[in-house]
Structure 1
Amino acid sequence: MSAFNLTSFDPPKFILMGIPGLEAAHIWISIPFSMFYIISLLGNFTVLFVVAKEQTLHKPMYLLFCMLALTEIGISTCVMPKALCIFWFDFKSITVDGCITQIFFLYFLTSIHSAVLVAMAFDRYVAICDPLRYATILTNAQIAKLGLVGFIRAVLSVLPGPLLLRRLPFCSNRVIPHTYCEHNAVVKMSCGDTRVNRMYSLVLTFMIIGLDLIFIGLSYGLIIRAVLRISSKKAHQKALNTCTAHICVILISYTPNLFSTLTHRFSQDIASHIHIILTNLYLLVPPMFNPIIYGVNTREFREKVRKYTCRM
């Protein structure tokens, strides 16, 4: 098989196949996908609108919630418009630069999303373990600094990936069996040495998911220890209720991500179309449910949302 570097073509392109084996069902698959996408946009833009309009919600917890909403809008928007173009109009081509840009922003926003979940865990830790100093430890300025740290970490950790992809020579088969430019799927098409790219992907997964889960676990370990020292059962319940929404968001965000990563690397028994559908759902389901979870579990936010919906 002849090999060539795609960067020598003008313009070099890849072909995104959508969901191989289910091409005939693309239109039907697009219906739930587009519905999930629209619901996620409505939910997350509602969060941003309500918090922006209500001065009483300009607090660290809700600012973190807004950061989460922004990253979730970005993550789903990185993937779904192109996927829907494939499903509806059979627009399968994407330039190499467009593909690499999509990879960068998808991983960049995923890194920030994970950092925000860590900051939320720290917020809950301070609220439960040191409530008297909460207002001085977690100010809006501190939240902005945490957001900046997450942004810088995302840039520094994700930027090498696209740069490493640019140096690879690609085979004559430029077809990506996916709905979006997934890093490992692009690497598999290369005819060159991809060991550095694969090692980078593993290290990045550990840095973003592994370390962040460790920090979240430590925060909740300290929270549980503090709660167990409280003698009142009512106080137990109140303390744990403040963490319910965040725990649900963690489970719904990390579980599909870990499942997708592990099955992609280690399992050969799962059909490719099932894996592709699951990875797309991972990018759609958390952004759809997270605003609902916080709306149900946070009374103050729920009341503000009801205030605006009753005006309509």
Structure 2
Amino acid sequence: MFRPRLALVPGEPAGVGPELCARILAGAHPAELVVYGDAGALRESAAKLGIALPAFPAVEFPNAIAATPGQPDPRNAAAVIAALEAAARDCLDGRIDGLVTGPVHKANINAAGIAYTGTTELLAKQARRDVVMMLARPGLRVALATTHLPLRAVPDAISQASLETTLRVLHASLRTDFGIASPVIAVLGLNPHAGEDGVLGREEIETIHPMLAKLRNEGFDLRGPLPADTAFLPDKLPGFDAVLAMYHDQGLPVLKSTGIEHAVNITLGLPYPRVAVDHGTALDIAGKGIADPSSLFAAIAECARMAAHRKSAS
């Protein structure tokens, strides 16, 4: 049975990433994990929490200074970025089957003078690929047409061209990474009631409808544009393999309202699987041994499944 080799990047050393990785490495998991980061710091974190840590393979990126839980230091930011870039490079070169990332601290990285808007953007630039952000939990996958934008900027960011790119990436990934031969994608409208025939906005008529029609002619099974307030009803969701939301807070609150501990953040469109935890650095509880590793375990399991699907399709 195929057992993928996955890169595991703990992320911000002052956050909960190191202790979550220690808990994962101390237990059973469905992949061979290679840590990209400061392995010594990870062992120290495990020792402080009373976690018996077995030997594990690592590609070393030492922290510049010892990390203090809850207190990010910009001097350690370069090691975090270097670990992410190296792990992704090894995925691109075929030495690693997928990438799992812990939470990073954007403000701390920028405080170090490193231009950084997010790991998704970093990986997309490195791989030179169009990517789509999708969050998933058991029973629900929500992809985003736009990500971290002010609400007033969202309509201008949604064009027929951008929507086409997003839907093509999403459709291809559902087939390649999730093994769904004929994906069914629900596409939400931008406006309340999906514009209500133009009364509440014309984006559905002028942008979304024409692009859905074009892709349906190519065989895509696209439902919508659907009103967001009813698309997530329990009797409808089982008919969709994924939901495409037009903006961040249109779809993600629904996903996170239930099952957040098992939710993961997936970057679609890369030449390799990449899955991240769906939570932040949790500086307020770092080092206390109470952080829940469920999201990280779910990320590893999802990345392993995606790698297996890619292997079987190759």
TM-score (norm 1): 0.29
The structure with the largest alpha-carbon Rg is: 1
Higher RCO (CA 8 Å, separation ≥ 6 residues):
1
TM-score (norm 2): 0.29
More strand by proportion, 1 or 2?
A: 2
